[in-house]
Amino acid sequence: MTATARTSSSATHPAPAAGFDVERARRDFPILRQTVRGRPLVYLDNAATTQKPQAVIDAISRYYGEENANIHRGVHFLSERATEEYEGARKTVQRFLNAAQENEIVFVRGATEAINLVAQSFGRMRVGAGDEVLITAMEHHSNIVPWQILCEQQGARLQVAPIDDRGELLLDELEKRLGPRTRIVAVTHVSNALGTVNPVGQIVELAHARGIPVLVDGAQAAPHLRVDVQALDCDFYVFSGHKVYGPTGIGALYGKAALLDAMPPYQGGGEMILSVTFEKTVYNKAPHKFEAGTPHIAGAAGLRAALEYVSGLGIEAIGAHESELLEYATGRFAAIPGMRLIGTAPEKAGVLSFVLDPVHAHDVGTILDNEGIAIRTGHHCAQPVMQRFGIPATARASFGLYNTREEVDALVRGIDKVRGVFAR
Amino acid sequence: MSDLRELYQELILEHYSAPRNYRPMAASLQAEGYNPLCGDHFTIYLDMDGDVIRDVSFQGSGCAISKASASMMTQSVKGKTKTQAEDMFREFLHLVMGQAAGNGTADRLGKLAVFAGVSEFPVRVKCATLAWHTLRAALEGKQSATSTE
């Protein structure tokens, strides 16, 4: 991919990140061509879900149009093709995460289901009465509630590592909470509400030094950063397909083979068994042991296309483009009266969370929507983060590979409009 | 912009920046209301004289629509009976849901008619009605927090 030379209309627009042609990438996303409320769509809600490139839409369509069948036990042609599609997707996920083996990849509905799977399977096996589960104060509800449920079931305690006023994890405080009863650490790679990138490699080292396994929630990281589970040495890594330009309803759990092999099944049913009698059922091996029922085969085909698309553009190039946008937007936001950024950690990815005094986030969202600009408002399923900063809600703009400086400019103009409506 | 001005009427913005009856009160009845989607949270305090709302106040945080609605609601129901307040809520619901055309609702609601613009913004109906749901819970003596979900 080569960068096209672009002449900038304004001196405040430095050249785009080299090696990434955003205008060309935008053409891959049919949804971006539409207008919303009479204006070009400015989609800045990528941390909630990303839009889908034509390649993903085509892959799903092709699967249903040409390959649809149930997988694994069919003797017929289509079943073989569908099985190849599904297992091929597993290999693509393996490469995307740089997992050592393809049987370390379990297909799930998304990051939420993956965490629930680990909590209920690994968690019920390893966490007992009086034991502890350690998370951080910046987790999404999906990396809090499954552990709370587990702790309630097992009589265990949930421990929380605090964050500072910039939204950075206090690593020494996390280390203090790694105790003799800590059975697992579950930490987000990138915070959905703050954008903070956590030093997950360091966290894994600290935990492993005490023999404690680590789950990394990669839902917000996979679209922005190169993930290498072998380099991280994490025990579990989870992500959702729909946040990395793939379909909804499909995601993956990476688990080290030895752990997955030792873990009991999460759900029972077809696919996850080798043999069933009323007296005894023999479970299949991992990953199939964790994939009860007919899976989301079309979703896997779409996810494969999405990961191939992202890898084709280059995840580093995408990350660099988004970082540059984030830096540009942060600079422009600094000049807006009443603006307060929530989440100002030095290491951030993709997310600009803010409050605009005296306007409530919900009103910001409505007025921007009227300008065709889609952002998210509310607590972002991270209510403890809102409580930490003493605010009920934030407005959040989050960037994807197809966003542009011009869209950041539109956002800033939209915020000016918000201020205009509330100017008294 | 015209739709936005319908929503963000001058009177609504004015009540948002200077809410009336915005104070806690030693109350004979009170209730909490919460919108889990956006974090809006209000407490309504009622000083009842039999069936009559002798005084009403509120506290909490929310968007312009929810806070102004709470503020103007306290003005509207003060001195009304429980039944009158409940009737007013029904009319208000019709108004913000766009079901009040031509039946005199707007006249009967007086100043509250400025919330008619909400009907063009369906996701904001819950903002406009949070305080009213909470008022009803308080009038019914409900102890648990009222949620819009």
Distance CA A54, CA A39 (A): 22
In chain A, where the domains are located: 22-33+315-422, 56-312
pLDDT of residue A18: 56
Distance CA B14, CA A419 (A): 15
At A343-376, the pLDDT tens digits run 999 999 999 999 999 999 999 999 999 999 999 9
Q: A90 vs A72, A221, A267, B30, CA distance in Å?
A: 14, 19, 20, 56
Contacts of A422 in chain B (CB under 8 A): 8, 13, 64
Distance CA A6, CA A3 (A): 9
Q: Which of residues 320-379 of A touch B (CB under 8 A)?
A: 358-363, 366-367, 370, 377-379
Distance CA A47, CA A12 (A): 27
At A169-217, the pLDDT tens digits run 999 999 999 999 999 999 999 999 999 999 999 999 999 999 999 999 9
At A59-114, the pLDDT tens digits run 999 999 999 999 987 789 999 999 999 999 999 999 999 999 999 999 999 999 99
pLDDT of residue A398: 98
A56-312: in CATH 3.40.30.10: no
pLDDT of residue A159: 98
- Distance from A337 to chain B by nearest Cα, in Å? 17
pLDDT at A166 over 50: yes
pLDDT of residue A54: 98
Task: With CA atoms as reference, report the closest residue to B48 among B69, B78, B23, B7.
Answer: B78
Distance CA A230, CA A104 (A): 12
> Lowest-confidence range among A13-17, B104-108, B130-134?
A13-17
Does A56-312 match A22-33+315-422 at the fold level? no
ipTM of the predicted structure? 0.90
Measured from the Cβ of residue B28, the count of other Cβ atoms closer than 10 Å reads 14
Please tell me what DSSP assigns to residue A123: I
Active site residues of A: 381
Distance CA B29, CA A247 (A): 49
* A132: amino acid identity, one letter: E
pLDDT of residue B82: 96
Closest residue in B to A367 (Cα–Cα): B4
At A156-165, the pLDDT tens digits run 999 999 999 9
Measured from the Cβ of residue A112, the count of other Cβ atoms closer than 10 Å reads 21
The answer to whether A216 and A237 have CB atoms below 8 angstroms apart is yes
Distance CA A219, CA A201 (A): 17
Question: Nearest 10 degrees: CA dihedral of A363, A364, A365, A367?
Answer: 80
At A216-272, the pLDDT tens digits run 999 999 999 999 999 999 999 999 999 999 999 999 999 999 999 999 999 999 888
Q: Specify the CATH architecture of the domain B2-142.
A: Alpha-Beta Complex (3.90)
Residue matched to tokens 């049919």: A30
Report residue A384's pLDDT band, with 50, 70 and 90 as the boundaries: very high
Contacts of A393 in chain B (CB under 8 A): 38-39
Distance CA B61, CA B43 (A): 9
Fold annotation for A22-33+315-422: Aspartate Aminotransferase, domain 1 (3.90.1150)
pLDDT at A142 over 50: yes
**Collapsed DSSP state (helix, strand, coil) of residue A105:** strand
Please state whether the predicted TM-score (pTM) of the whole model is above 0.90. yes
pLDDT of residue A188: 98
Q: Is A141 on the interface with B (CB under 8 A)?
A: no
Distance CA A355, CA B137 (A): 31
Phi, psi of B52 (to 5 degrees): -100, 135
B15, containing H or E segment: helix B10-17
Residues of B within an 8 Å Cβ radius of A: 1, 3-4, 7-8, 13-14, 17, 37-41, 61-65, 67, 121, 123-124, 127
How many helices and strands (H and E) does chain A possess?
15, 17
Task: With CA atoms as reference, report the closest residue to A233 among A265, A197, A250, A209.
Answer: A209
Measured from the Cβ of residue A58, the count of other Cβ atoms closer than 10 Å reads 15
B3, B39, B123: residue with CB nearest A393 = B39
Report residue A8's pLDDT band, with 50, 70 and 90 as the boundaries: very low
A366, A383, A422: residue with CB nearest B13 = A422
A204, containing H or E segment: helix A200-208
Note the maximum CA span of chain A. Answer: 76
At A22-44, the pLDDT tens digits run 999 999 999 999 999 899 999 99
- Is the peptide bond prior to B36 cis by the omega test (within 30 degrees of 0)? no
Report residue A13's pLDDT band, with 50, 70 and 90 as the boundaries: very low
> Pairing between strand A394-398 and A351-356?
antiparallel
pLDDT at A1 over 90: no
Mean pLDDT of B47-76: 96
Distance CA A309, CA A5 (A): 23
Mean pLDDT of A390-401: 95
Residue matched to tokens 């039944």: B83
- Do B127 and A424 make contact, defined as CB atoms within 8 angstroms? no
Closest residue in A to B121 (Cα–Cα): A366
Radius of gyration of chain B (CA): 14
- Is the peptide bond prior to A358 cis by the omega test (within 30 degrees of 0)? yes
pLDDT at A15 over 70: no
Per-residue b or e along B71-98, where b marks 16 or more CB atoms closer than 10 Å to that residue's CB: bbbbebbbebbbeebbebbebbbbbbee
